A and B are shown apart, each in its own frame.
Chain A
Amino acid sequence: MKLIIIAGPPSAGKTAVIKQIVANVKDELRTAFLKIDVVKAYEDIELEHEFGILTKKVYSGDLCPDHAGVMVLGDVVDWAEENRSDLLIVESAGLCLRCSPYLNQGLGIIVLSSISGIHAPEKMGAMVSLADVAVVTKIDLVSQAEREVLIQKIKEVHPGIILLETNALQGTSLQRLYRLIRESPDIDKDHLILKGSPPLGTCTICVGKKEIGWKHHFGVVKKLDCQMAEYLYRGE
């Protein structure tokens, strides 16, 4: 079974890209889809309705969605294999920019909108720098020169990335992406690991304490003015 993991900020066009992929490969590859989100998601219903593929979603609720993703990914690979899928597509919630959900196998794809701002590629950190492919969407909304400037910015964050530009609603120029997916090798599910490391530890804010100020909290946190030191803070 092949595996692709799609990340990117909300409204970048992740689902539009996925719909184009599914429309293109579904006759050839039996496709399963998982959407990870925090509160609400409709992508699974839409994809099942439109293409009749196997879909599932999971809400992370109070848990960080990327953490939830790491935890359920093992189960979802088993679920997709039990259902004899040839391709598993995982769509991340695309919220926090600290983590990246990509694994050491399969394809990691970042979807970025061409109107997301010129500094977006740098701000997204590991979501861009650990991806295999970047798909830049909404190219019909900006000039060619501006697209080239954005692409240059992405390349400066990740020189080796494979770059594609598309109007995802129409699915223009995605043939190379379909080819990359078809050519990507099957995964070995016993040796799947994250490409990037998740954030270090947690603090009392993570577990739901709402008070503000240092005296109420302890854990691995950072003060406003310190650079790297004083990671460990104990409440008074």
Chain B
Amino acid sequence: MTELTILPGYNRDGQRENYEQIQLRPGETISIVGPTGSGKTAFITDIELMAQGDTSTRRRILINGKVPEDSVRYNPSLKPIAMITQNTKCFADLTVENFLKIHARAREIDDQGIIPGTLELANTFTGEKIAASHRVTTLSGGQTRSLLIADAVLIGAAPVILLDEIENAGIFKQEVMAIIQDSGKIIVFVTHDPVIALNTKKRLIMEHGGVKKVLLRNAQEESAVKKLIEVDKRIGTIREHLRSGNIITAELAI
């Protein structure tokens, strides 16, 4: 895969979106921001479904400049896109191990080492560890999200990864960002988090069901994000201290 193209659709008032096309290439990241209900999730869902004017936004998605074949759109093992939604509940009554095994089978992966590997990666994102024998229905929101992100990176192994508000689940977002940003994939973040929003070179602003603006990160923002990451790391350290039962005993200097 060399290029993902998003062609404009229509917002909730029926107005055509204000861009010609959005092109993404491997290694590129983009964040999607905007108020709740502005159409951020619908945007990545269009990408995931490889919409061809057949969703409520009427956007169209091209892969390498072409309309994807039906076989690619509908066969999970050929699908170049993996999405992590905000749904942190799994309904499948299976153990973690069986869930990953069946998904590996769906993606036509024979290597059995991928199951422990995925579990190991998932456990770098979450506080309480996930075991292969746990049932996916009993995992917490953060554990499920961690498992699904690791699954998307290794088993989904798709060149395009779509992440819907990873900051929400109490997982280690810096670790997640570090691992997936250098993976040479196209990564799309739907986010309310300024650190994630400024960490990507491109930024989409959503409003009323449509794309309002496409922004490129400026030089000022590039230095701002470095400072923000430092602040965020410090907040993360404080969070882990509080989580493990430590108390604050001196004036906090930020």
- What is the interface of chain A, defined by CB distance below 8 A to chain B? 114-115, 117-119, 140-146, 148-153, 155, 162-165, 170-176
Which of chain B's residues have a CB closer than 8 A to the CB of A173?
Answer: 49, 51, 54-55, 73
| A146→B90 contact, CB < 8 A | yes
* A176 vs B89: C-alpha distance when bound (angstroms): 29
Q: Is B76 an interface residue (CB 8 A)?
A: yes
Which of chain B's residues have a CB closer than 8 A to the CB of A142?
Answer: 85, 87, 89-91
* A145 vs B56: C-alpha distance when bound (angstroms): 23
Contact count A vs B, C-beta below 8 Å: 88
The 9 tightest CB contacts between A and B, nearest first, are: A152-B106, A118-B92, A148-B76, A144-B83, A175-B54, A172-B55, A148-B106, A149-B102, A115-B91
* A11 vs B89: C-alpha distance when bound (angstroms): 20
| B54→A150 contact, CB < 8 A | no
Which of chain B's residues have a CB closer than 8 A to the CB of A119?
Answer: 93
| B51→A150 contact, CB < 8 A | no
- Residue total for B at the interface (Cβ-Cβ under 8 A): 35
| B87→A143 contact, CB < 8 A | yes
| A176→B74 contact, CB < 8 A | yes
Smallest beta-carbon distance A164→chain B, Å: 7
- Grouping DSSP codes into helix (H, G, I), strand (E, B) and loop, the B interface class, with mixed when no group exceeds half, is mixed
Interface residues of B in 68-96 (CB under 8 A from A): 70, 73-74, 76, 82-85, 87, 89-94
The residue of chain A having its C-beta at the shortest distance from the C-beta of B137 within the complex is: A118
* A48 vs B92: C-alpha distance when bound (angstroms): 37
Which of chain A's residues have a CB closer than 8 A to the CB of B82?
Answer: 144-145
* A228 vs B102: C-alpha distance when bound (angstroms): 32
Contacts A118-B94, A151-B106: A145 and B148 contacting too (C-beta < 8 A)? yes
